[in-house]
Structure 1
């Protein structure tokens, strides 16, 4: 089969590799019908995250189950499924508390432990999924979704769930004023999540016309393209002299965290979901003085998918709008370039 392999910074190739098979009784093999490039995939592509050896890449995909292990009872061949970006057992204290990304049976990003529970790269034609029954989410009544539904379902594997996590962490609620820092797919989904949760005023910080248009479509009431102190001043002006009740930080850099912290009012809340890079840190004394609540981290997508899926299937939300470019799997190197150069918000890959 064909799969996307990262060899080093800026070096993405589509190569042949062995077709996956069931190895453990809890495994499933999924034929991928759509995958995508994530903003976090750009960190190794840019050399920010080290690459020790050529490896399959990608953690967002949807598809059809081709085979299952002997212990998988709730999923069958032919089921259409969404794969959250981290595998989870569903039974440990962390999973039962909804924090599936901290599953006790797993160790680290990607779901790897000494029992061989590792998920191969999702940017390929098929994937072996460990702990399939507790990880994959079946989409009821769906065989092969149409283009719009396919895009919507794919966002649930990561970006829509992550935007939702940012909104919940920032205590978004009806009537609260919101600032979203970051206009990538996660930030735009954060705007949609805030709207879904009933936010009153939603300010999207964006300098790109195409992303601003999506933000407004998703529910942004205002756009701020200023940054730093000027951005903070603009937020204050829009909100009648005060700062935002809730701020969603959806980038992960030092600059984005500083922008977020200084855009939230004293006593407000900040939800951060951007993967921390470039010296991003939390100044405890500033939080202490301003009584700002900070929460967030890696989104437990497996926990959120069922409720978000219900809204997608009912047509209440359409997060698939973040996919503005679609390419074949063979074009994965160009997909990475387009994302890296910000010529695309998010690229969908067709295996």
Structure 2
């Protein structure tokens, strides 16, 4: 079969790799139909976090092709959502709804031979990982597929940021970041009852328009201290009850901390790179830091009805659609910020 392989800085190639097969009785093999390129994939693409020869991609949906003899929750022919980490469903962390810390789980392409940007994948612990989109396992209508794909990672991650922040009805929330996670954090803040949502850090008109569509009341195009002053002016000095940090750079994290009012919570879901947090100012202002890697498997059943009922449309953040053969161009476009997030149609015959 064919799959995307990272071969060095800014180099993604489709290469021939072995077909996956059932190796454990709890495995399933999924034929991938749609995949997405994640902002965290770009860290790898830019030369950080993985060596050449690494399979890549962790957001995907498709049809179960084969199951091991101990798999009971899905069957061949079921159309499923695949969370960005696989998990056993049985360990103490999975039972607590923290599947991202599963003692036997892992991340596609780094802790598992297969990854999400390929024609098929072996899914360990199928019962603890896979989620049928519809109760009977049938394929949902095509218009829902982009939003269902976003349930594999980005929508739950934005929701995780908002939930961990403890947003209460009427709260003022500032979301730092204009990527797919950022706009989904805006959406999640609205779903949790935020009274006012400000999206900070973007000067891109198309991203600002999307943030407004997802529920942002105001857009702050400035960054750093200029962003802090802008939010201070918008809130008449009250600042934010909750700040959702969705980027992960030292600059974005420093801005997020400055936007927090005394007693506020800063919830971070941006993969941190080189972030160093000064504790003394947080101590004096009683600011809480929370967040971390999202347990998507725990949130998918909660968020799935919102997508199926049309209440939430996170798939609108997929602003570019690409054929499987054009996957390298999808990375180029996201890296150059020509596309917010790429949807890839995976051709089983490619």
TM-score (norm 1): 0.95
Matches within 5 A, 1:320-335: 320-335=315-330
1:137 aligns with 2:131: yes
| 1:196 counterpart residue number | 191
| Equivalent residue, structure 2, for 1:269 | 265
User: Which residue number in structure 1 is paired with residue 47 of structure 2?
Assistant: 47
| 3-state SS of 1:262 partner | helix
Shift of the 133–95 alpha-carbon distance from structure 1 to 2, 3 Å rule, reads same
Q: Alignment partner for residue 227 of structure 2, among 211, 231, 242?
A: 231
Secondary structure at the residue paired with 2:170? coil
Q: Contact between 1:85 and 1:301, CA under 8 Å: does it hold in 2? A: yes
Residue 77 of structure 2 is matched in structure 1 by 78
In the alignment, structure 2 segments of 5+ residues that lack a partner are none
1:3 maps to 2:3: yes
Map of 2:31 onto structure 1: 31
Residue 115 of structure 2 is aligned with which of 114, 121, 130? 121
TM-score, structure 2 as length reference: 0.95
Does the CA contact (< 8 Å) of 1:88 and 1:111 recur in 2?
no
Instruction: Summarize deviations over 1:88-124 as a string: whole Å, max 9, x none.
Output: 1111111111111111224x544977xxxx2511001
Specify which of 150, 168, 189 is matched with residue 163 of structure 2.
Answer: 168
What is the CA–CA distance in structure 2 between the aligned matches of 1:144 and 1:109, rounded to whole Å?
25
1:322 Cα deviation after fit: 0.4
> In 2, Cα distance between the equivalents of 1:61 and 1:231?
35
User: Helix, strand or coil for the counterpart of 1:267?
Assistant: strand
- Ranges in structure 1 where 5+ consecutive residues have no aligned partner: none
Given that 1:178 and 1:199 are in contact with CA atoms closer than 8 Å, whether structure 2 keeps it comes out as yes
TM-fit CA distance, 1:171: 1.4
Counterpart Cα distance in 2 of 1:111 and 1:126: 13
Is 1:180 matched up with 2:175?
yes
| Change over 3 Å in CA distance of 1:112–1:88 after alignment to 2 | farther
Query: Is 1:148–1:320's contact at 8 Å kept on the other side of the alignment?
Result: no
Local SS of the residue matching 1:35: strand
Shift of 1:50: 3.9
**Cα distance between partner residues in 2 of 1:231 and 1:180:** 12
SS in 1 for 2:256: helix
1:192–1:218 Cα contact (<8 Å) kept = yes
Kept in 1, the 8 Å contact 2:238–2:261? The answer is: yes
1:87 alignment partner in structure 2: 86
Contact 2:154 2:181 in 1 (8 A): yes
Secondary structure of the 1:8 match is: coil
Query: Are residues 112 and 225 of structure 1, via their aligned partners in 2, closer, same or farther at CA, if it must alter by over 3 Å?
Result: closer
1:296 to 268, 277, 291: 291
Give 1:285's aligned residue.
280
Distance 2:62 2:171 in 1: 38
1:5-35 superposed Cα distances (whole Å, 9 cap, x missing partner): 1111111001122221111101000011100
Structure 1, 64-73 or 229-238: larger mean CA deviation = 229-238
